[in-house]
Amino acid sequence: MGRTLAILGSLSCAVAAFAAGPAPKGNLILIGGGDKPKDAMAKFVELAGGPQAPIVAIPTASEEADAGPYYVKLFKEEYGCTDVTFLPIKTKADAMRPDLAGLAAKAGGIFFGGGDQVRITNALLGTPVGAAVAAAFERGAVVGGTSAGTACQSDPMITGEGDFTVIRADTVELKPGLGFFRGVIVDQHFIRRQRENRLFAVIMEHPELLGVGVDEATAVWVRPDRTFQVLGEGSVIVIDASGATLSRQPAAKGQALLGAHGLKVHVLLPGETFDPAARAFVTALANTTGAAAPSRREADLRDLHRTTATPR
């Protein structure tokens, strides 16, 4: 009886995580790092309002001085955008500037670059720029990101610190994220960098959340109804512990071992859609072959935004 109540309670929390508050009108385009799939980037521009819409890049996660100009060049040369700027934000003091908040407030699309997600949240949370981004998303602007710019979209977020060689309690560091991808904790570079351990550990300790691992050259398009579709070339892994029987066992050394029975894992392919509220696969599109490989120009531009920070 107790086990049944625990499972029902976990399911109730899971539903509440997706039902809390009115749904924002904005979409999310979240890339798992590596090559930026052209269908995902084109969808971002479309949802922003087209090539003439104001687009703002936020390169805060990167230590590279030319990360901002890289995104301006990318959107202009690859996608024909005419109104692109970047916000030169490195610190919380920068994010207090009203002129930068004004640019974010009027944007049709806001894109977060890669690097270290903690730099993003340290700089933006509790600032006018952070509030302007949230307000823009609420009114209907599309928010995009890649790598660290994807990791910061859930709340909590995985920081990149911890012991990822085990599935044990209290081994993955979490911090507050931006919270635009509700009821989910998202990870990136997922299959390429074998990050299954850390997402399993987090979800087994937080079964009310849905784990979403996005691989490189792959994206999720999160719609206002909170369903999400896979774009790009690879897979998205979904981990659901809401109905699982969870346990932990003290270990002779280190943190407690985590166990789970009835854990659900979905492997979603390009074109497929998942409903987080129902915790269920919805549908696949007729064309599930994914996008074409990035052009040579895209690959050359991509090299400009490599950060000196250790990838998170």
Could you tell me if residue 78 is inside a domain? Answer: yes
Please calculate the CA angle 55-73-25 and round it to the nearest 5 degrees. Answer: 20
Could you tell me if residue 243 is inside a domain? Answer: yes
**Mean of the per-residue pLDDT values of the chain:** 88
Q: At what angle do helices 98-105 and 128-139 cross, to 10 degrees?
A: 10
Model pLDDT for residues 269-304, shown as the tens digit of each residue: 999 999 999 999 887 655 444 444 444 344 444 434
Q: What is the pTM of this model?
A: 0.86
Q: Which two tokens stand for residue 2?
A: 């107790």
Q: At what angle do helices 67-79 and 296-303 cross, to 10 degrees?
A: 170
pLDDT at residue 240, as a whole number: 98
Please calculate the CA angle 52-39-22 and round it to the nearest 5 degrees. Answer: 75
Could you tell me if residue 221 is inside a domain? Answer: yes
Could you tell me if residue 299 is inside a domain? Answer: yes
Could you tell me if residue 311 is inside a domain? Answer: no
User: What is the band of 254 on the pLDDT scale with cuts at 50, 70, 90?
Assistant: confident
Could you tell me if residue 312 is inside a domain? Answer: no
Could you tell me if residue 42 is inside a domain? Answer: yes
Residue type, 307: T
Of 134, 172, 291, 167, nearest to 221 by C-alpha is 291
CA dihedral 142, 131, 63, 48 (to 10 degrees): 20
The distance in angstroms from the start CA to the end CA of the chain is 41
Q: Which two tokens stand for residue 129?
A: 């720029």
Check which CATH number belongs to the domain holding 255 and give it: 3.40.50.880
Model pLDDT for residues 27-50, shown as the tens digit of each residue: 999 999 999 999 999 999 999 999
**What's the total number of domains in the chain?**
1
Could you tell me if residue 308 is inside a domain? Answer: no
Beta bridge partners of 85: 56
The answer to whether the Cα torsion of 146, 148, 149, 154 is positive or negative is positive
Q: Which domain holds residue 53?
A: 2-303
